[in-house]
Amino acid sequence: MPITKATEIEAKFHVPMEQRNAVTPEDQQAWDFGLTAEDEDGRRYFCRKTAANVFEDVKGQRIYTDFKELFHTKTEALALPDNVEIVVRGLCNVGNICIWGALPKHGKSYLFLSIIKALLSGNKWLGYFETSPSKRVIYLVPEVGLRGVVKRLRKLKMLDYLYDPVTNPDGRLFLQTLSSFPKLALDDTYLLDAVRDADVFVDPLIRYIQGDENSSGEQRILSNKLLNLLGCAARSVWVAHHSPKAFKDVRDITTQNVLRGTSEFAAFPDIIFGVLKTDDEKVRLSSSVPMHATMMNTSVISRLSCDRGLMRKVT
């Protein structure tokens, strides 16, 4: 955190003493009472008074005194690599959000788990797609309990990746399920701390939808939360979402037919994948560039078939 501790002398108040004394440290919110303190470099942050009678910064919220500080600089730009950094070659790059649409029981959760395993192991996904090893994977599964997810992890031999503060402190898979308490919202500050440099998997999106799923205005709030994960330095974001029932009869997977609900879900991701089980042994995976990226309504750019036997071999 920018400010570890500040004394009462170092903290700067913008309200009368009687108002400061009228609240407890637990109730005091920096943005309500205008309490700030400076770090060693003179940058000012919101802070709050703790029970130990010291002042700590609140969630790293910095106060800017010059509008120029709010914009990217040439130094930042030149620090970026010239080449595209891959997460999974051909599927997702660093800084991308991708959404995978599928009907229930068509394999999207196991596809996600196989990708997670490839990212944690550094192996090629399906023995073909090159991966860049993940520093950390955040896996949010709000509709399946821990028992169900552990059954999947055992099946794919992934339990050794699961973080444990005692038995596996170097584990890089961080899991939240229906059994977790408290549950993390997509804008929870603890989650925003955890996603830095991490690959984030949300399965499924429907459990985070509030309001009318067909309302672009209401669901824009949700899409902004997902985009903000990248703003908080997540390496990549992967989202599983349901397809409409009519999806089982489509010939070409497009941004128009792959995702249930508002077109907002097709507007903000960098790439959309459609998963369709063609029979008991094969799953067809198609990728469609979003409309805003191609200026075309139906642009299917690639298609491949994933044999389930190959998936079993890889996992």
State the Cα–Cα distance between residues 102 and 285, nearest whole angstrom: 10
The structure tokens 């991708």 sit at: 98
Identity of the residue numbered 296: M
Same domain? For 220 and 102 the reply is yes
State the Cα–Cα distance between residues 218 and 192, nearest whole angstrom: 22
Confidence bin at 130 (pLDDT 50/70/90): very high
Confidence bin at 93 (pLDDT 50/70/90): very high
Same domain? For 203 and 91 the reply is yes
Same domain? For 198 and 288 the reply is yes
User: What is residue 51's predicted lDDT score, i.e. its pLDDT?
Assistant: 59
Nearest to 95 by CA among 232, 262, 282: 232
Q: How many structural domains compose the chain?
A: 2
User: What is residue 298's predicted lDDT score, i.e. its pLDDT?
Assistant: 29
Give the range of the structural domain holding residue 113, as residue numbers without chain letter.
86-314
Tell which of 79, 98, 118 closes a domain: 79
> pLDDT tens, 218-234?
999 999 999 999 999 99
Higher pLDDT pick, 60 / 248: 248
Same domain? For 169 and 185 the reply is yes
State the Cα–Cα distance between residues 282 and 311, nearest whole angstrom: 10
- Domain CATH code at residue 287: 3.40.50.300
Q: Does residue 311 surpass a pLDDT of 50?
A: no
Same domain? For 8 and 70 the reply is yes
Same domain? For 143 and 183 the reply is yes
Q: How much is the mean pLDDT over the chain?
A: 78
Confidence bin at 54 (pLDDT 50/70/90): low
> pLDDT tens, 135-192?
999 999 999 999 999 999 999 999 999 999 999 999 999 999 999 988 899 999 889 9
Output the pTM of the full model. Answer: 0.75
User: What is residue 63's predicted lDDT score, i.e. its pLDDT?
Assistant: 53
User: What is residue 92's predicted lDDT score, i.e. its pLDDT?
Assistant: 93
